[in-house]
Amino acid sequence: MAETARDRPMTEAVWQRAELLAAMLDRLECRTVALRLDHGDAFTRASRRCLACPYPSRCRLWLDQRGSGYAKPPAFCANVDFLVAASADAPE
């Protein structure tokens, strides 16, 4: 059976972090247009901060404990500023 990228530990970590960031964006109802700020550079920086985050377990727990449409990102998140700017409640 052929090995896939998700079978490798490091790439699995990258996938998990990407899934956490996507879940956070959904939970906070972030606007899609916000992901294209600075030609996508803001999202790229947010992705890198997420990948380097030491709190993936806290993030998963936070996401699991909140319903959809939660308005404020967790204080421990390195992407608080990006998420607030991208939120549906942020001015256009």
State residue 87 phi and psi, 5-degree precision.
-65, 155
Render pLDDT for 34-66 as a digit per residue (tens, 0 to 9).
Answer: 778 788 899 999 999 999 999 999 999 999 988
pLDDT in tens, 58-82: 999 999 988 776 778 999 999 999 9
Q: What is the pLDDT of residue 89?
A: 63
Number of residues in the chain: 92
Paired tokens of 78: 């390195």
- Whose tokens are 């998700």? That residue is 6
Phi, psi of 29 (to 5 degrees): 50, 50
Q: C-alpha angle 30/35/39, rounded to 5°?
A: 160
Q: What is the pLDDT of residues 16-37, one digit of tens each?
A: 999 999 999 988 888 888 778 7
Q: Tell me the domain boundaries of the chain.
A: 9-86
pTM over 0.85: no
Give the model's pLDDT for residue 3: 66
